[in-house]
A and B are shown apart, each in its own frame.
Chain A
Amino acid sequence: MPNNKVFCRMFLTVFLLVHTVSFAQQKYTISGTISESIGGETLIGVTVALPELGSGVVTNEYGFYSITLPEGNHKLTLSYMGFKSIIKEVSLVENIKLDFTMVEEASQLDEVVVLQDVEKTNIRKPQMSVNTLTAASIKRIPAVLGEPDVIKSILLLPGVSNAGEGASGFNVRGGAADQNLILLDEAIVFNSSHLFGFFSVFNTDAIKDVKLYKGGIPARYGGRLSSVLDIYQREGNKNAFKMNGGIGAISSRLLAEGPIDQGRGSFLFAGRASYVHLFLALADNDNTASFYDLNTKLSYGLNDNNNIFLSGYFGRDNFGIGDSFLNTYGNTVANFRWNHLFSEKLFSNLSLIYSDYFYGLELDVRGFEWESHIVNFNLKYDFKHYITNNLKLDYGLNNIYYNFKPGEIQPNSEDSGIIAEELTNKYANEFAAYIDAEHKLSKNLTLRYGLRWSHFTRFGQDELNIYENDSPVVFNQDFQIYQEAEPIGVANFDRSETLATFNNFEPRMALSYVLNDKSSVKVSYNRMAQYLHLLSNTNSPTPLDVWAPSGPFIEPQLLDQYALGYYRELFDGRFSLESEVFYKDIDNRIDYIDGADLIANDAIEQVILPGEARAYGLELLFRKNTGRLRGWLAYTWSRSEQRTPGRNESEPGINNGEWYFTPFDKTHDFSVNASYELNDKWSFNANFIFQTGQPTNYPIGQVEQLGLTVPIYGDRNTERLPDYHRLDISATLTPRKNKGRKLKTEWNFGFYNLYNRMNAASITFEENRETGQNEALRTSIFGIVPSISYNFKF
């Protein structure tokens, strides 16, 4: 680490600043919590502004704000999308606590003004490359089969794409799907999809707020390179017992919420279940594919300074073929959080999180069962310190202990010939400490700078292979191919021993310069380290994919990202334009030797080679923020490549050491989302998406072996699938009789892929066994899909 000195000095500077400014002047603090009026849910991201001083703050993830001002009279302006603004005059002679309740804009036609789908980026804040979505806006976006979905919604944002229908995960700015940090109420979620990507694991009804960081990632996040998808669940209604739900074509959902102890606390239970398997059973099909999930949350305010939260998530997918194959997988997450106010300026949150990602497979035709787990215990202690109006500090600690149980194979019956085998368990610990300062230097210039120190320890395990020259992959000069090396020995280590440790200093920096009231420029730099790797050499992740920790043979992935942005409001804020360019550089990105078999592979080091990756691009987001017709237009031009050079001069590396496209390289990515409110009864919504086809491989010839026609392939990812595009529309009917009654209902009608485009999920090349002719076969997942769903609330 050549730059250590610089960062240490920066740390020092931050502390000195803290020291000096806190003694500067006679000032008082206003602090409190901001919530909405109906259910008492706290609101994230409410702007508390002081127009006269030209400064302000926004509420944090728990609705808390703190602002410190000189003695005297002040005018506070509270604003939040979809809510009526509040203006409050305060005469400040001591520290005061002010909680606010904001009232939703009545959604009557005449008043439809500020319902934005993506929150406008605050042009003054240094945070860039971030998009926020609320549950309400996600629900308006038409989705396949009428199921609103977080992941499908973020795909409409610039810089975000995925491999198409039936592919789980998403790719941010040319990054891999395993490089996204997905947090649900601060807990890490390893698998974000149900039914192989048709649905995400997040129940939209239970979600309050979704934030996607694509760059300029604050120091409090770490462990993944490309993005952070930070999702907060609702706490539940503090004022009255309410229920809502929906009935759709694939799944139904129900949510119950209400107060505990006269509103000091609240509860929320939400569940979803799919019933595709019922249709399959009706159609006399033995196959099954289903999922369900449960979300629970309890919150309780112990007193003014202490709140506790208990939340849980449990989800499972079941997928079976007759009696011969049964696959079950899902997440279990339990999470305890404690919000404590040390003072009106110092907010803290302590989280204790347990999470278990389970994957199980029973294969009757082979007579075995297989079970794997990733268990982790996570302790987080985060502080938000509102030192002055111009300086806010975030600092904290994070420790995660991992236990990887990659698999246990057992005979499923007495007469099975299978011998039980347990793949080697692996243990690791990831520790991080961070400090991040948001520092307003002048009226126009705000800086955010911080540092994260991450430390990863791989603990001892049984059966660690030892290789000649520490080289688990050998290059066969005769055949010019990479091969698995035979271990020369096996060593067993005690769990208290350390196999490898890694240290990384991850500086984060962002700057915003306000050019005038309507426009600003921002720059950011972030370095990230990722210690876990999703082993996947398929074009899109599957539930079979295994996570592997860094260790003796796998180095952590490191990223440097630079971004520059220009933001401008047009026509009095009715339109806005955000443009960003980014460049990122990734070290230690692994790739797989030809023919690598990753499934149940206990010696993954034998099939991987370290390489590097890079991505760069331009993103444009143009929005219409007000009026009956609202929406956005997003365009991204980007490039995403990787390279795996030979380890020495006698080896060619993968693809002869040349750069090649990653499977997530999409040159052009264009999306439009538009919604139109016709009247109080009908509203309409449409999406259009265009993406350059995904890189793929076409055969460069054919040969015959053993009577088979075999396509032969050359360099990686040189061809592309046809371009992907589709149009979705939906209409929402809110019956007028809803007015003045307790039961509110809503119908949603939609068409996914309206013009029935057969988008290729893949093209395969094979011989037609009937005709003997070679063919290119296109697999497309969804043509036009109509949907209808019914939602209710009481």
Chain B
Amino acid sequence: MRKYIYLYVLFLALVSCQDVIEVETPTGEVRLNIDAHFRVYSEERITGKVILTETANFFEDEIPKVSGATVFVTDKTTGDVYEFLETGFGTGVYEAQDLGFLNDFETTFELTVVNNEDSYVAEANLIPTVPIDRIAQGDLQVFSDEDLELIVFITDTPNEVNYYLFDFGFDLYEPIDDRFFDGNTFEFSFLYTEDDEVDLQPGDVVTITNDGVDKQFYDYIELLLEQTQGGGPFATAPATVRGNFINTVDNANYALGYFRISGASALTFTIQER
């Protein structure tokens, strides 16, 4: 619901103007940032890796990568440990040989990142999702005549609270909860706009993915997306978006970022002539 406030900003856009200005921003304490998102499409297809970086000033071009950390996932039921190795020194990207172990709804996984003196842990469960029934192309245009509308149909699981994160490619995401359509077939529109810089042409193929997520991650991603999209005069007061990592050595020196395992369902769609 929060995002409809942006429609007011859109109204303001009718009379307002935006320009880029030079501003000096402060630099806060340097923190570790852990990007660890895993998708379980099926038993055969599981994706994801752990990316370690450090925070940098907002206008810094390069974000420092964190090398040489120890990264592993523990299955808390069995106690099995799965090691993640850096794909090459200096990349800050850590991968496991086989992610098949993540396809288990019954257990809790714990990701541990040991860097310098600190040890960061986060827990995650595999969250189921529902398939995308179909995708259609609509003709809704709101922001400009470059707007491209896709309509996504899903059938929600009844009698439980579900949260979904839709990935429309191009780093475009849309979190949705089933509060108002529990158990129903539900359709919603997504607009690719001029500002998204995707420039989709007829014949292009887009992949839309529906990740199952829990409430904690839903709240996290909603806030994160809001702060990423800027805000305008009706924006809520921004805040540090903490993820789910805890520093077990020094609680105050927390890390940013999230460890998540989602059941995922993808469907492709070929853009039609308008």
Do A and B originate from a single complex? yes
The 8 tightest CB contacts between A and B, nearest first, are A764-B230, A700-B28, A594-B239, A417-B186, A701-B55, A417-B184, A703-B33, A713-B238
B20 lies within 8 A of A705 (CB)? no
Closest partner residue, chain A, to B13 (CB atom): A779
Chain B residues with CB under 8 Å of A164's CB are 233
Q: In the bound complex, how far is the Cα of B227 from the Cα of A710, in angstroms?
A: 7
* A441: Cβ under 8 A from any B Cβ: no
Complex interface: stretch among A185-193, A321-329, A616-624: A321-329
A 669-723 contacts with B by CB, 8 A: 697-714, 716-719
B241 lies within 8 A of A409 (CB)? no
B19 lies within 8 A of A701 (CB)? no
Chain B interface residue count, Cβ-Cβ cutoff 8 angstroms:
85
Q: Which of A701, A758, A780 contacts B58 (CB 8 A)?
A: A701
A710 lies within 8 A of B224 (CB)? yes
B 176-203 contacts with A by CB, 8 A: 179-182, 184-189, 195-197
B21 lies within 8 A of A287 (CB)? no
Chain B residues with CB under 8 Å of A779's CB are 9, 12, 16-18, 232-233
Chain A residues with CB under 8 Å of B196's CB are 769
Complex interface: stretch among A7-15, A259-267, A473-481: A473-481
B 199-221 contacts with A by CB, 8 A: 219, 221
B 45-101 contacts with A by CB, 8 A: 51, 53, 55-60, 63
Q: In the bound complex, how far is the Cα of B1 from the Cα of A409, in angstroms?
A: 12
Q: In the bound complex, how far is the Cα of B26 from the Cα of A163, in angstroms?
A: 24
* A75: Cβ under 8 A from any B Cβ: no
Chain A residues with CB under 8 Å of B188's CB are 365-366
Question: Given known contacts A704-B33, A712-B55, is B187 in contact with A417 (CB within 8 Å)?
Answer: yes
Chain A residues with CB under 8 Å of B2's CB are 597, 599
Give the distance to chain B from A410, nearest Cβ to Cβ, in Å.
Answer: 10
B12 lies within 8 A of A166 (CB)? yes
* A308: Cβ under 8 A from any B Cβ: no
Chain A 354-389 per-residue mask, 1 if CB under 8 angstroms from chain B, else 0: 000000010101111000000000000000000000
Give the distance to chain A from B125, nearest Cβ to Cβ, in Å.
Answer: 16
Q: In the bound complex, how far is the Cα of B56 from the Cα of A118, in angstroms?
A: 53
Complex interface: stretch among B104-112, B253-261, B266-274: B253-261
Q: In the bound complex, how far is the Cα of B4 from the Cα of A327, in angstroms?
A: 11
B181 lies within 8 A of A480 (CB)? no
B58 lies within 8 A of A765 (CB)? yes
Tell me the B residues contacting A by CB distance below 8 Å: 1-2, 4-5, 7-12, 14-23, 25-28, 30-31, 33, 35, 37, 51, 53, 55-60, 63, 140-142, 171, 173, 179-182, 184-189, 195-197, 219, 221-225, 227-242, 244, 246, 251, 254, 256-258
Give the distance to chain A from B244, nearest Cβ to Cβ, in Å.
Answer: 7
Chain A 315-347 per-residue mask, 1 if CB under 8 angstroms from chain B, else 0: 000010110110100000000000000000000
Q: Which of B18, B25, B141, B173 contacts A706 (CB 8 A)?
A: B173
B242 lies within 8 A of A705 (CB)? no
Q: Which of A280, A367, A478, A705 contacts B258 (CB 8 A)?
A: A705
Q: Which of A538, A596, A707 contacts B171 (CB 8 A)?
A: A707
B232 lies within 8 A of A764 (CB)? yes
Q: In the bound complex, how far is the Cα of B227 from the Cα of A595, in angstroms?
A: 10
Q: In the bound complex, how far is the Cα of B141 from the Cα of A710, in angstroms?
A: 28
Chain A residues with CB under 8 Å of B219's CB are 595
Q: In the bound complex, how far is the Cα of B7 from the Cα of A595, in angstroms?
A: 19
B228 lies within 8 A of A777 (CB)? no
Chain A 567-580 per-residue mask, 1 if CB under 8 angstroms from chain B, else 0: 00000000000000
Q: In the bound complex, how far is the Cα of B212 from the Cα of A211, in angstroms?
A: 57
Q: In the bound complex, how far is the Cα of B219 from the Cα of A72, in angstroms?
A: 79
A711 lies within 8 A of B246 (CB)? no
B229 lies within 8 A of A539 (CB)? no
13 A-B interface contacts by CB (under 8 A): A166-B233, A319-B8, A544-B5, A701-B55, A714-B240, A717-B237, A762-B233, A766-B230, A776-B22, A777-B18, A777-B19, A778-B19, A782-B15
Question: Given known contacts A592-B237, A764-B232, is B35 in contact with A706 (CB within 8 Å)?
Answer: yes
B180 lies within 8 A of A419 (CB)? yes
Q: In the bound complex, how far is the Cα of B14 from the Cα of A325, in angstroms?
A: 16
Q: In the bound complex, how far is the Cα of B59 from the Cα of A698, in angstroms?
A: 11
B171 lies within 8 A of A706 (CB)? yes
Question: Given known contacts A417-B187, A538-B234, A542-B5, is B244 in contact with A479 (CB within 8 Å)?
Answer: yes
Closest partner residue, chain B, to A363 (CB atom): B4
B233 lies within 8 A of A480 (CB)? no
* A783: Cβ under 8 A from any B Cβ: yes
Chain A 766-794 per-residue mask, 1 if CB under 8 angstroms from chain B, else 0: 11011000111111111100000000000
Closest partner residue, chain A, to B256 (CB atom): A703
Question: Given known contacts A701-B55, A710-B241, A769-B196, is B235 in contact with A599 (CB within 8 Å)?
Answer: no
Chain A 187-206 per-residue mask, 1 if CB under 8 angstroms from chain B, else 0: 00000000010000000000
Give the distance to chain A from B198, nearest Cβ to Cβ, in Å.
Answer: 9
Q: Which of B18, B35, B181, B240 contacts A418 (CB 8 A)?
A: B181
Closest partner residue, chain B, to A541 (CB atom): B234
